[in-house]
Amino acid sequence: MNPRIRAFVDLVRLPAALTVPGDTLAGAAAAGRPLGRRTWALPAASACLYWAGMALNDYADRELDAVERPERPIPSGRVRPGEALAVAVGLTAAGVGVAAAAGGRRTARTAAALAAGVWCYDLVLKPTPLGPAGMAANRALDVLLGAGPRPRAAALPAAALAVHTLGVTALSRGEVHGARRGTAEAVLAGTATAALLAAAPPRTGGAPSARAAAAALAAVFAASAGTAQAAAARTPDAATVRAATGAGIRAMIPLQAALAARAGAVGTAFGLLAAGPVARAATRVVAAT
């Protein structure tokens, strides 16, 4: 790969966006929105906003990264700060624009709120105690983006993904210097809570096959994230915490799949699950965090 292109691939953590499309698809399934051209455009909008956040993250952290992560694109000199900021602006505009074209005014407002949340997190909230909560709120908004005009119908999947994101973000703060054992234990409890929400039968009962698929996929999610998080709870050093953070990010996919199955979209659920091995292989080449 051309070194210049590779620098921007690293900047936006390109393959990590595979953990994002399931947000809007789970939200659409919960809201009863059939898959179609407009529904499928929303994961693209979501991915653009995710990549924008990654570029903005590196722009905001460029001085800290020069000390703690000098290999990243900006401190290593492969990408200039102004270029990273321009990428963030362009991808933000693309994400909101695609959402507006696909879903109309209400969806555009949700996308704009998500974009504002992304910028607020990276530029203001990230170094504060409110950082994990800000990231969790953004993930919930991403789910609601898929629900379109029926956001209340997607409240449970939004909550499940927000709880998991809260834990992953809190744990990720120990990637350089390690974490507290209590933090890792709390994150593990959050993963269990998200799994229980995903496996909970819907009020309408749902088809037995969909309930069974949701329960099985929720178990896959719990094992995917929980095993690494349990290791971090036992030994919360930086390397173990980094591994647990990566596992937690990849585990977004089976969680999204479980939530889609819970809403009756079993085909969508197993389609999402197929992205898991791809994401795992890709993150061996390009870091997800």
pLDDT tens for each residue of 59-83: 999 999 999 889 999 999 999 999 9
* pLDDT tens, position by position, 38-50: 778 999 999 999 9
Long-range CB pairs of 234-239, under 8 A, 24+ apart, other chains included: 236/174, 236/178, 236/179, 236/180, 236/181, 236/183, 236/184, 237/178, 238/174, 238/175, 238/176, 238/177, 238/178
Nearest to 260 by CA among 248, 275, 277: 275
pLDDT of residue 15: 81
CB of 88 closer than 8 Å to CB of 55: yes
Instruction: State the residue range of the domain holding 235.
Output: 3-283
* pLDDT tens, position by position, 179-205: 999 999 999 999 999 999 999 988 776
CB of 198 closer than 8 Å to CB of 211: no
Is there a domain that residue 288 lies in? Answer: no
pLDDT of residue 124: 96
Phi-psi region of 2 (alpha: psi -120 to 50; beta: other; left: phi over 0): beta
* pLDDT tens, position by position, 245-260: 999 999 999 999 999 9
CA–CA gap between residue 206 and residue 223 (Å, rounded): 25
% of the chain at pLDDT higher than 90: 74
Is there a domain that residue 63 lies in? Answer: yes
pLDDT of residue 45: 95
pLDDT of residue 285: 56
Is there a domain that residue 113 lies in? Answer: yes
Q: Using 50, 70 and 90 to split pLDDT, how confident is the model at 275?
A: confident
Domain count, the chain: 1
The per-residue pLDDT of the chain, averaged, comes to: 91
Is there a domain that residue 48 lies in? Answer: yes
Is there a domain that residue 133 lies in? Answer: yes
289 pLDDT above the threshold of 70: no
Nearest to 253 by CA among 286, 285, 288, 284: 288
pLDDT of residue 284: 61
* pLDDT tens, position by position, 150-170: 899 999 999 999 999 999 999
Is there a domain that residue 289 lies in? Answer: no
